[in-house]
């Protein structure tokens, strides 16, 4: 028996974690991709809980960076960055519910070298930026194109190959009335750039508006903690999600579950605020659903909590805080 | 001769800083107020440069907090907070231009006690919040209603009266494709809560989209630096603005001018980022338009720059950095 | 009658704010200057409350930067920076008391050009630093020497003269067992770089160890808010202080009083923590000594509090929060 | 062959990573423990490179919290917290060198229940503190005593046992002229609270003063990432270190090596500064010693770097950034 059968999705989902319909969202079906998470776009797809959707995602640059001699600053046109599939309207979803999204698979697509990373002026964790504004001269621009193979990995250079550990960089629901750049992570998900949001995990997202309006994109073939220079190994994919709906489960920030842990995800600035959000949510979750008294959960996480740094480069920084399921029996 | 005649607005504005038409934007004309700064709303008014607009603004709570026994948490319904007049479409405004907005007057309106401040749970500068997430119990809620008179001031209690020094808490243009809560300040203006944005000042705002789409609201009768508990003396007003357009003046963040200083305004978290943004913009402005070499401007601001803390409570914190015009001759 | 006669120093000081002895602390009498605030140095002077001390202070570079062709990085030898006079042992001072220090006068000394400012690599508010670590290339070094005259001001260049508004950049008591670089501000004072610590003000400092061990140095002839590039107009001075002792007044952070305001001073990172410290101390001070209920003080400071940014460049950033005495009657 | 034989310590150490003498530092031999990292204490032990030292460490509370009915605020007497063994004078060590410290073993000692954690007022990651100053009421105090067995683990309660994964919470060298509370982590090590500083690792510490003056203490039996409430499972131990000296290896921040990774350790506020420090040091280390071009190291860490959050509660927060040795061949 798979752990999935005991997941929150399976136990509480309208579709009981079962597959009840199958859909595609090809480039053609998607048509125009989106650059904000908001309620003002027309859904590209309407599904019921239990839907499995295979989406053709673009890379974060919409495929425009094709060679190592390209100049990102000449090609990229803010705010038209980080194109998203969707929105997918989930029938029955209302404010106060949670969407459960099981990541069934992520497969690279497109011609080689299909992976891209680069240095973009005034963007990244070790450079002055538009917000951490400096007078220092920016670093030079630089593009690196790499071959990606789902089996053999990401070929960094002749000597180094990184395992293919794909995840969804940007996924979330629509805010109720805001439309926020897909570059930003927040309470509804968005550009979290957190490697745990990978194949085999279930992510739970707050529903803020009718139909939830699920967006996704920005898949990474590999990424270190913090996404240091701001650009992981970006690549186009076919990403397959199973979508379920949990009625009446009101969560303030994204949560995640895999075979081993439960996790809460916070995004904010400064970075300690991201950690505080994630850990407070986890403390309260353990208190509400796992029999811990609140201060006891706080003290126990002090001894056994784990932290994953998603990004330290986006408009908000992202941290996942988790606890092993083995402690929750 | 008023200093205004030598202002940037007068020198560079399409309407040369002159009044060319007059408009009202009463509650009835406004109809529905707005809770996001974005391009998805229909303009309530279309004007040419040189327009003077008198707008009936609501207080930040849309007048719903009426007595000291009201409970903010029961009345306020996030995200439907901080109602904004507008958007006002300015003919000829295009991305890359700047809007010039001269604040002619701000007058209190409505029945007494027309001023409101309060403590809202998990909001404020000296409490845990949704972002600076804490486990401590929130402070008790508390409402204070005060009488406001434009001449005699804000009556805090029998012993203390604060001068009436009104300003616009929230004013800005629309982002290009985003729609962002009116609770947030950012590069386009928004909820800066900066007292310098008061009567007699000209604020310059980046135009991000066709028509600029000017919003305003949230006038304060008085406010300390930082807006410590998160709620100034909020009050409904008639606010009169003169709007001009500066073609081809591309600014990244709001700027301000009054008789005595030029100022740049930055918003960000942590607070030092707001200061960095403001001071970098000011350094570069002095280099571009006032004959300073860039590093010399940086060194001179070290000796003569001034900082005003707008807010330390909103989704981004706001700081204005200024230099006396007497140094710029 | 001077306001000083009603100051806290006059009302509560052991010497009632009176002058009871006079002392000098010339370069020769000082001998070796100090680079840490700590209890491990031998006092250079022992005084009773009521002592007036005239100290010959060095500039922050101990006079080593003599010409505009000097290279700071070649001359400055960390941690031997920011030389301090003292420590002055105050008889009767014990942990839990407060020192009151009235700044009688600050006079420039030494040959012209006696003022120095400069750009130091990886130091300053708009550059990457050792803490806000960046990969960008540092700015070029640059030294500027300026003439300072107490009457006519600081001659920045042929066109610009800045008023001479001197203050003590670094002043404080010793920690109990720590010895902390004189580059850092903290709960005991230190390198606050706050312009309010100028002639005519009384600063109150926590006593952490027997004799208080007062240090001072680093006088600035002028400084903008935030001390943006990290180096104000540094200059050697004769600084005259009147020292009193308030028994049993336990304060956690420095406080200040002048004719117009009372102020609390906080230092921390990020910058909002400096503001939080200052405002919390002020809130509690108003509650303890001025008849405000605590939450009422919090709400009132929201309307009438003022913030001065001292530095945004030192190991901790410094903010002063104040309220007008006119509201405290 | 152990990986240790190819460690930097073995390759570059004066003693070639060999054991050349053995020493003890029992409670009696230590005598008075220390509460600051500084050069003003007399060494308790003088050793040559190659020394193995077994030290009896106290827990962070010097054993004073003995029962769950104790009140931390009544027992703990700031700044006399976090007692440290040492300083150990290492012959031949001079400013500009690095100390190599191999952690051979950590064994719990003392009567059961020998483990302590607790909630201390205004201290912790999810509460207002002296720096992140709030008006909210503090959490209640609470002490938890737990049994610790090196084999069976830490008995949290009847249902939960945490593995015994001991590490040194506080270890470092003396600053050159400062003496800094043992509660603080910084460039010289100190209270990093980073679980990687455990058995089997080699930590490299900058030498800032003659003899290096090594301090250690504060061993934890278990700790989650971030040390959330501020107090891990504190316990007294016998900790055995092997000390070597690397002449002329000038490092700015602590580094660490174990069988699998190399790591750099940064401490700062806000938390992103700790991450920036750690990642910049790692980038430059890879460039200097492992054949990467600097910007290439930066881009590669973006894909393969790992981050461990040490503490988010101490005066500076601590992050370790690492890269797998398998990528460094």
| CB < 8 Å to D270, chain B | 270
Least CA distance to D181: which residue of chain C? C178
Chains C & D: contacts with CB separation below 8 Å: 92
Chains B & C: contacts with CB separation below 8 Å: 148
Q: Would you call C326 exposed, middle or buried from its count of C-beta atoms within 10 A (0-12, 13-18, 19+)?
A: exposed
- The residue-averaged pLDDT of A143-159 equals 98
Q: What is the pLDDT of residue B329?
A: 79
D137 CB within 8 Å of a chain C CB: no
How far does the CA of residue A4 sit from the closest CA of chain B (Å)? 31
Helix (H, G, I), strand (E, B) or coil at A309: strand
User: Chains touching chain C at 3 or more Cβ pairs under 8 angstroms?
Assistant: A, B, D
| CB < 8 Å to B130, chain A | 252, 277
Q: Would you call B260 exposed, middle or buried from its count of C-beta atoms within 10 A (0-12, 13-18, 19+)?
A: exposed
Q: What is the pLDDT of residue D91?
A: 98
pLDDT < 50 positions in chain C: none
D130 CB within 8 Å of a chain B CB: no
C178 CB within 8 Å of a chain D CB: yes
pLDDT < 50 positions in chain B: none
d(CA A113, CA A144): 10
C125 CB within 8 Å of a chain A CB: no
For residue A31, the 8-state DSSP code is -
Is the CB of B179 less than 8 angstroms away from the CB of A178?
yes
User: Chains touching chain B at 3 or more Cβ pairs under 8 angstroms?
Assistant: A, C, D
- Average pLDDT of chain A is 98
| CB < 8 Å to A79, chain B | 175-178
Edge-to-edge strand list for the sheet holding B85-90? B45-47, B85-90, B214-220, B167-172, B189-190, B185-186
Band of pLDDT at residue A329, cut at 50, 70 and 90: confident
D150 CB within 8 Å of a chain B CB: no
Least CA distance to B130: which residue of chain D? D126
Q: What is the pLDDT of residue A67?
A: 97
Distances (CA, A) of B61 to B33, B64, B183, B217, C57: 12, 6, 11, 11, 54
Distances (CA, A) of A96 to A185, A279, B129, D272: 19, 21, 20, 33
Residue of B228, B275, B281, B311 for testing the chain C interface, max C β-carbons within 10 Å: B228
D130 CB within 8 Å of a chain C CB: yes
This prediction's pTM = 0.98
Q: What is the pLDDT of residue D329?
A: 79
Which of B160, B228, B300 is the closest to C279 by Cβ? B228
Which of A128, A136, A270 is the closest to C270 by Cβ? A270
| CB < 8 Å to B276, chain C | 125-126
d(CA D323, CA A228): 13
CATH no. for C3-252? 2.60.120.580
Q: In this predicted model, what pLDDT tens digit does every residue of B143-191 receive, in sequence order?
A: 999 999 999 999 999 999 999 999 999 999 999 999 999 999 999 999 9
Residues 6+ apart with CB under 8 A from B156: B146, B162, C300, C303
Residues 295-314 on A with a CB inside 8 Å of D are 295, 298-307, 309, 312
Q: In this predicted model, what pLDDT tens digit does every residue of A68-118 receive, in sequence order?
A: 999 999 999 999 999 999 999 999 999 999 999 999 999 999 999 999 999
Is the CB of B276 less than 8 angstroms away from the CB of A135?
no
Query: Is the pLDDT assigned to residue D87 strictly greater than 90?
Result: yes
Which of C135, C268, C298 is the closest to D280 by Cβ? C135
A142 CB within 8 Å of a chain C CB: no
Q: What is the pLDDT of residue B1?
A: 66
| CB < 8 Å to B191, chain A | none
Q: In this predicted model, what pLDDT tens digit does every residue of A28-75 receive, in sequence order?
A: 999 999 999 999 999 999 999 999 999 999 999 999 999 999 999 999
- The residue-averaged pLDDT of D183-194 equals 98
Least CA distance to A278: which residue of chain D? D126
Residue appearing with tokens 């670089």: C181
D181 CB within 8 Å of a chain C CB: yes
Which of C36, C273, C276 is the closest to D178 by Cβ? C36
Least CA distance to B310: which residue of chain C? C307
C138 CB within 8 Å of a chain A CB: yes
For residue A100, the 8-state DSSP code is E
Which of C135, C181, C280 is the closest to D135 by Cβ? C280
The answer to whether C310 and C195 are in contact (CB under 8 A) is yes
Which of C225, C269, C298 is the closest to B229 by Cβ? C298
Is the CB of A136 less than 8 angstroms away from the CB of C133?
no
B293 CB within 8 Å of a chain A CB: no
Residue of B120, B126, B138 for testing the chain D interface, max D β-carbons within 10 Å: B126
| CB < 8 Å to B175, chain A | 79
In the numeric block, which tokens belong to residue C268? Answer: 């921390």
| CB < 8 Å to D117, chain A | 299, 302-303
Distances (CA, A) of B70 to B111, B121, B139, C293: 17, 13, 16, 20
Q: What is the pLDDT of residue C1?
A: 66
| CB < 8 Å to D301, chain A | 224, 228-229
Helix (H, G, I), strand (E, B) or coil at B117: strand
- Average pLDDT of chain D is 98
Band of pLDDT at residue A1, cut at 50, 70 and 90: low
Q: If you write DSSP's letter for every residue of B135-156 in order, what string do you get?
A: -SPPPPPEEEEEEEETTTEEE-
Which of D138, D139, D270 is the closest to B270 by Cβ? D270
Is the CB of D126 less than 8 angstroms away from the CB of B138?
no
Least CA distance to A297: which residue of chain B? B135
- The residue-averaged pLDDT of A195-204 equals 98
Which of C40, C132, C180 is the closest to D180 by Cβ? C180
Which of C269, C280, C294 is the closest to D133 by Cβ? C280
The answer to whether A14 and A245 are in contact (CB under 8 A) is yes
Q: In this predicted model, what pLDDT tens digit does every residue of A267-302 receive, in sequence order?
A: 999 999 999 999 999 999 999 999 999 999 999 999
B133 CB within 8 Å of a chain A CB: yes
Residues 6+ apart with CB under 8 A from B254: B172, B187, B188, B189, B192, B203, B204, B205, B206, B264, B265
Is the CB of A275 less than 8 angstroms away from the CB of D160?
no
Helix (H, G, I), strand (E, B) or coil at A218: strand
d(CA A16, CA A9): 7
The answer to whether D182 and D217 are in contact (CB under 8 A) is yes
Which of C131, C175, C294 is the closest to D273 by Cβ? C131
ipTM score here?
Answer: 0.98
Residues 6+ apart with CB under 8 A from B310: B185, B192, B193, B194, B195, B225, B226, B227, B265, B267, B317, B318, B319, B320
Question: If we measure between CA atoms, which residue out of A35, A52, A39, A84 comes closest to residue A211?
Answer: A39
Q: If you write DSSP's letter for every residue of C106-170 in order, what string do you get?
A: EEE-SSSS-EEEEE-TT-STTS--SSS---SPPPPPEEEEEEEETTTEEE-SSS-EE----EEEE
In the numeric block, which tokens belong to residue C144? Answer: 């500027």
Q: What percentage of chain C carries pLDDT values higher than 70?
A: 100
| CB < 8 Å to B272, chain C | 125, 269-271, 312, 317
Residue appearing with tokens 């609770």: B183
| CB < 8 Å to D271, chain A | 270-272, 275
D287 CB within 8 Å of a chain A CB: no
Is the CB of C139 less than 8 angstroms away from the CB of A136?
yes
Is the CB of B298 less than 8 angstroms away from the CB of C162?
no
The answer to whether B89 and B45 are in contact (CB under 8 A) is yes
Residues 6+ apart with CB under 8 A from B198: B103, B106, B165, B166, B167, B168
């Amino acid at each position: 028996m798979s752990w999935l059968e005991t997941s929150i999705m399976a136990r509480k989902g309208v579709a009981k974690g079962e597959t009840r319909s199958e859909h595609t969202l090809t480039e053609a079906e998607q048509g125009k991709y989106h650059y904000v998470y908001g309620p003002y776009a027309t859904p590209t797809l309407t599904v019921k809980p239990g839907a499995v959707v295979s989406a053709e995602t673009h890379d974060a640059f919409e495929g425009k960076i094709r060679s190592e001699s390209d100049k990102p600053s000449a090609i990229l046109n803010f705010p038209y960055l980080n194109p998203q599939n969707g929105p997918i309207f989930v029938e029955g979803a209302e404010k106060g519910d949670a969407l459960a999204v099981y990541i069934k698979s992520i497969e690279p697509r497109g011609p080689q070298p299909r992976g891209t990373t680069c240095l973009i002026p005034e963007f990244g964790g070790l450079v002055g930026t538009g917000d951490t504004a400096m007078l220092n001269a920016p670093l030079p621009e630089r593009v690196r194109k790499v071959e990606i193979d789902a089996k053999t990995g990401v070929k960094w250079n002749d000597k180094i190959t990184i395992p293919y550990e794909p995840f969804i960089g940007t996924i979330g629901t629509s805010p109720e009335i805001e439309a926020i750049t897909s570059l930003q992570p927040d309470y509804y998900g968005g550009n979290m750039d957190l490697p745990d949001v990978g194949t085999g995990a279930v992510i739970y997202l707050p529903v803020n508006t009718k139909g939830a309006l699920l967006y996704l994109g920005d898949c990474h073939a590999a990424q270190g903690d913090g996404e240091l220079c701001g650009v992981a190994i970006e690549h186009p994919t076919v990403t397959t999600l199973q979508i379920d709906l949990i009625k009446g489960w009101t969560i303030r920030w994204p949560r995640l579950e895999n075979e081993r842990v439960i996790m809460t995800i916070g995004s904010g600035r400064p970075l300690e605020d991201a950690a505080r959000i994630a850990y407070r949510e986890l403390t309260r979750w353990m208190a509400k659903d796992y029999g811990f008294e609140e201060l006891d959960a706080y003290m126990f996480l002090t001894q056994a909590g784990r932290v994953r740094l998603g990004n330290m480069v986006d408009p908000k920084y992202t941290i996942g805080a988790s606890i092993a399921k083995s402690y929750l029996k």
